[in-house]
A and B are shown apart, each in its own frame.
Chain A
Amino acid sequence: MNPAQGGWVIMLSLIVAMILMVLRLPEFMPDLGLLRPQWLLMVVFFWVVETPHRLGLVVAWLLGLLTDVLLAHPLGLNAFILAGTTWVGWVFYERLRMYSVFQQCAVLFVIVLLAEACELFALSLMGRVGLSWELLTTPAVSMFVWPFLYVLLTRLRIAARVA
Chain B
Amino acid sequence: MRETGAGYLFSGLALLSVVLLVLELSTRLLTPMRENLATLVSPIYMLAEAPYSIAGVVDTFTSSHEDLRAQNARLQRRVLELAQISQQYVALRAENDRMRELLGSQSRLPYDVLVAELVGIVPDADTHQVMLDKGRDAGLEPGLAVVDAHGLFGQIVEVGAFTSRVLLITDANHAVPVRVNRNGVRSIAGGTGERAQLLLEDVPISADIVDGDVLETSGLGGRFPPGYPVGVVQSMLVSPTSTFAEVTIRPIAQLDRSRHVLVIFQIESTSGAGP
Contacts and interface: CB of A to CB of B under 8 A. Distances in A.
Interface of A: 15, 18-19, 21-24, 26-27, 33-34, 36, 57-58, 61, 64-66, 68-72, 74-77, 79-80, 83-84, 86-87, 90-91, 122-123, 125-129, 134
15 contacts: A22-B45, A22-B122, A24-B120, A24-B123, A33-B123, A58-B9, A72-B122, A75-B21, A75-B30, A75-B33, A79-B17, A80-B14, A80-B18, A83-B14, A90-B6
Given A21-B123, A36-B123, A77-B21, A27 B37 contact: no
Contact of A83 (B13, B120, B125, B256): B13
A91 B11 CA distance: 14
B123 A122 contact: no
B250 interface: no
Given A126-B25, A128-B126, A134-B125, A75 B6 contact: no
Contacts of A126: 25, 173
A97 B23 CA distance: 38
A72 B130 CA distance: 10
B138 interface: no
B1 interface: no
Interface in B1-48: 3, 6-7, 9-10, 13-14, 16-21, 23-25, 30, 33-34, 37-38, 40-41, 44-45, 47-48
A125 B25 contact: yes
Interface of B: 3, 6-7, 9-10, 13-14, 16-21, 23-25, 30, 33-34, 37-38, 40-41, 44-45, 47-48, 52, 120-127, 129, 158, 165, 172-173, 256-257
Nearest to B26: A125
A74 B45 contact: no
A52 to B, nearest CB: 9
Nearest to A20: B48
A33 B125 contact: yes
B125 A22 contact: no
A112 B38 CA distance: 25
A76 B121 contact: no
A105 B129 CA distance: 32
A90 B9 CA distance: 12
A134 B16 CA distance: 29
A22 B48 contact: yes
Which 5 A-B pairs give the minimum distances between C-beta atoms?
A76-B20, A80-B17, A76-B17, A76-B21, A87-B10
Given A79-B13, A91-B6, A126-B25, 11 more contacts: A22-B120, A23-B48, A33-B124, A70-B45, A72-B165, A75-B21, A79-B20, A87-B6, A122-B25, A128-B126, A128-B172
Given A75-B21, A84-B10, A65 B37 contact: yes
Contact of A72 (B44, B48, B124, B125): B124
B41 A69 contact: yes
Contact of A70 (B6, B14, B41, B172): B41
Given A65-B37, A72-B124, A129-B126, A57 B17 contact: no
A66 to B, nearest CB: 5
Contact of B173 (A21, A33, A127): A127
B20 A19 contact: no
A76 B165 contact: no
B16 A19 contact: no
A71 B122 contact: yes
Contact of B21 (A22, A57, A71, A74): A74
Contacts of B21: 74-77, 80, 122, 125
Nearest to A68: B37
A91 B2 CA distance: 8
